[in-house]
Amino acid sequence: MHPVITVTELAALPKGVPGGAALLDVRWQLGGPPGRPVYEAGHLPGAHYVDLDTELAGPPGAEGRHPLPDLAVFTAAMRRAGVGPDREVVVYDGGLGWGAARAWWLLRWAGHERVRVLDGGLAAWTAAGLPLATDVPADEEGEFTAAPGALGVLTADEAAALARRGVLLDARAAERYRGDTEPIDPVAGHIPGAVNAPTTENVVPETGLLLAADELAERFGKAGATPGTEVGVYCGSGVSGAHEVLALAVAGIPAALYVGSWSEWSAAGRDVATGPQPG
């Protein structure tokens, strides 16, 4: 299944259970505010809200700001939203794509094969003149069961080794990669050997829609990430990096995610490189 669905394709899907897709609203932004109030103010009809910080991630700590969630918590959230093994899932956010990509990545990692991200998110939906709802759907009773391991996950040591033998992409902004500034984590810079490929460049700036597959393939190819190359991704805390993994998948390039990312790496006193080159 292609990892992305357009507004037109989603609007044409059959509505209702069991025929329709399970819709997950994952509106989130770094530093807040929470996504629940904007969800309640208007969301795609039938969509369930999923909280990234508490249901798609574990508590912040030594493993980073957004470590893998407790499987029981994640499973309960997916079942409440009606996710089951044979039901298609569509995830969306406000338009940036990061929150939706985190949900997509977790579901794919947990073994669910029928999950797609709404290209352009809620912004694209409303731009197409399609309706929103304010009623909150009742909790469902999905039969989702997690089977972790379907997508690659890197530890800190594995990310360091991959940077030497393959391609490790740093999905953060260029100024954070270079070490010019670090507004969140304790140390500035990047993992030695990592190549900068900011997540923000995966989309068309004016619309927030993903670049076409051939454009993404060209972009990642310039960073050394091509089909057949071993590729890994990290970011600040494993959220925008999931969007990079999504974009790589659209380009036909499988990639593993270092979930702990820079928030784990920088807090552990590991080696750091600075400047515009991998180091």
Cis amide bond preceding 137, omega within 30:
no
- Only one residue has tokens 């990692």, namely 109
Cis amide bond preceding 33, omega within 30:
yes
CA dist., res. 217 & res. 211, Å (int)? 10
**pLDDT for residue 17:** 47
- Only one residue has tokens 């391991």, namely 149
Find out whether 1 and 7 touch, Cβ atoms under 8 Å: no
Strands (E), the chain: 4-5, 22-25, 48-49, 89-92, 115-118, 167-170, 195-196, 231-234, 256-257
Find out whether 274 and 192 touch, Cβ atoms under 8 Å: no
CB-neighbour burial class of residue 29 (10 A; exposed 0-12, middle 13-18, buried 19+): middle
Find out whether 118 and 125 touch, Cβ atoms under 8 Å: yes
In tens digits, what is the pLDDT along the chain, a chain of 279 residues?
899 999 999 999 876 545 589 999 999 988 777 889 999 999 999 999 999 999 999 999 999 999 999 999 999 999 999 999 989 999 999 988 999 999 999 999 999 999 999 999 999 999 999 999 999 999 999 999 999 999 999 999 999 999 999 999 999 999 999 999 999 999 999 999 999 999 999 999 999 999 999 999 999 999 999 999 999 999 999 999 999 999 999 999 999 999 999 999 999 999 999 999 998
DSSP states along 104-171? HHHHHHTT---EEEETTHHHHHHHTT---B-SPPPP----------SS-B--HHHHHHHHHHSEEEE-
Count helices and strands (H / E) in the chain: 11, 9
Q: 3-state class of 267 per DSSP?
A: helix
Single-letter amino acid code for the residue at 141: E
Query: Does the annotation count 6 as an active-site position?
Result: no
Question: Residue 61 forms beta bridges with which residues?
Answer: 64
**pLDDT for residue 79:** 98
Single-letter amino acid code for the residue at 156: A
Single-letter amino acid code for the residue at 202: N
Least Cα distance to 199 among 219, 181, 185 occurs for 219
What CA–CA distances, in Å, run from 275 to 164, 177, 180, 195?
Answer: 18, 8, 8, 11
**Catalytic residue (one of 56, 162, 225, 235):** 235
**pLDDT for residue 33:** 78
Q: 3-state class of 90 per DSSP?
A: strand
**pLDDT for residue 16:** 52
- Determine the longest span between alpha carbons in the chain, in angstroms: 53
Least Cα distance to 134 among 68, 69, 41, 217 occurs for 41
